[in-house]
Amino acid sequence: MPLNVFSVVVCTHNRAEDALECLRALHEQIDYANSEVILVDSASSPAQQQLLQHGISNLQKPLYLRLEQPGLSLARNAGLARCKGEWVAFVDDDAVPNPDWYEELLSVLRNAPDDWGAIGGRIVPVFPAGGPPDLGPRWKRYLSINDTVGSRDCTAKFELIAANSCFRRAALDAVGGFPTELGRSKKSLLSGEDVLVMWRIRRLGWKIWYDGSFCVGHKIPADRLTKRWVRARAYWEGISTIRMARLLSDRGRFRLILKAAIAAPVLGILSLLMPKGYEWDLRLRYDLGVVIESLRFRPKSSSA
């Protein structure tokens, strides 16, 4: 397999230890004669930058890119611009690829039809000490968990999560990469950049696939298991949904806004009358995000 087939991009911001653990897991399995690894430092602090540079000097092979402006989509696009691969895999800095991740993904790519534009892999949560908490489906989704097995076409119903994903370079180039209007930046919990990319490549006729054979363990920080974080995440999901719909010129967003405007007061009353249930609460926060963003209010932080 020539070098121009497979690139791996890891983007990081102030999580040097996590990023280096991810890189070490990749380093132990990747055939550098046929593939490449690119680390994009998204404006980490000087101390974190020093840790990264020292750590990758021991690994020798990863290409290090430094950006002075933070932003996940900016970082992914910078990595994309330097890739030599026909396929570009993205692994989050707080994810640890399984020992067979490289070989399993390589096998999938070797058999990928020409109309496949993107492939999502399995993401298994790694919870803090104490075992997995009791989480509802919406909370799990906000934690970027997709631990289902099997292989299937998910063009109609997206299952790809960018924390463990692979895109055909031609498909990403055709849609202009990841939208910088979306994606995490500083304290914002804005998201949806991977979903918007999937919408755009689907419109161009590419298919999207899910394959559970290539898998990562995704670390779940303790603060993401708090009510404060998940409520903020649900609120920002509503904001992200409307911004994404605007970028897609999707007129269906008006129906979504109307539905949220009607549902929010009802959910607010139910949350007062019914026993506390996170699904109710998170749906309320999501709807509030939809309505407020539709009015073009701009929240200043993620602590909604």
The closest alpha carbon to 67, from 180, 189, 205, belongs to 180
Q: Which range is least confidently modeled, 162-171, 200-209, 280-289? A: 280-289
Tell me the pLDDT band of 304, cut-offs 50, 70 and 90: very low
CB distance 64 to 53 below 8 Å = yes
CB distance 172 to 80 below 8 Å = yes
Share of the chain above pLDDT 90, in %: 59
Segments making up each domain of the chain, as ranges:
3-223, 227-294
**What does CATH list as the number for 3-223?**
3.90.550.10
pTM of the model: 0.88
